[in-house]
């Protein structure tokens, strides 16, 4: 009986903890960018969370059509800045996708398009 009540309490705590944790994710802002110089693309993203101890993890991917040109991961607390360079072709449209999570909770990915030429 005690085990059953204990299990229920743990389950209830988990159920309550999920929305409480998710609810603490407020007003995150994301600034992705791709700039081109010659045949190089400089991909960057800045992510700010609300608190200095919010754990931010992100994956940045650069796509040209269906081909993935590059993928990079990083994580930090409170603020995350990633900047990576990769060789690209002229006169093509590139897509930068940023998948990220705050304190382990995934957020909707952010996508931008930029043209090289």
Partner 1 sequence: MITEEMLREAAHKASEVYTAYCERDYDPENQYVFPQEFEKKIERLKHRATHPVFYKTMHRVASIILSILITGSAWITVDAEARAAVVGWVKEIYETYFVFRHDRITNTATESADYRPTWLPDGYSEFRVSATEARTVVIYANDAGEMIRFNYIHNPDETDWFIDVSQSDIKNATVNGNEADLLIVQNSDEANGIAWVSADTAFYVTGFVDENDLVRIAESVQEI
Site residues, partner 1 (CB under 8 A): 22-33, 35, 46, 48, 50-52, 79, 107-108, 110, 112, 114
SS3 percent helix, strand, coil of the chain, rounded to 5, is 20, 60, 25
How many angstroms separate the CA atoms of 99 and 47, rounded?
11
Task: Output the smallest distance, CB 74 to partner 1, in A.
Answer: 17
Q: Residue written as tokens 């110089």?
A: 37
Task: Output the smallest distance, CB 28 to partner 1, in A.
Answer: 4
Nearest to 87, CA basis, from 32, 33, 42: 42
Task: Output the smallest distance, CB 70 to partner 1, in A.
Answer: 19
Nearer to partner 1, 32 or 88 (CB): 32
């Amino acid at each position: 009986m005690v085990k059953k009540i204990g299990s229920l309490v743990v389950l209830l705590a988990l159920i309550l903890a999920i929305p409480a944790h998710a609810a603490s994710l407020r007003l995150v802002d994301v600034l992705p960018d791709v700039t081109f110089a010659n045949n190089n693309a400089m991909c960057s993203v800045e992510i700010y969370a609300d608190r200095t101890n919010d754990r931010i993890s992100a994956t940045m991917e650069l796509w040209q059509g269906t081909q993935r040109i590059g993928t990079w991961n990083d994580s930090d607390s409170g603020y995350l800045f990633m900047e990576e360079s990769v060789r690209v072709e002229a006169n093509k449209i590139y897509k930068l996708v940023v998948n990220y999570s705050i304190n382990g909770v995934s957020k909707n990915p952010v996508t931008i398009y930029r043209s090289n030429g």
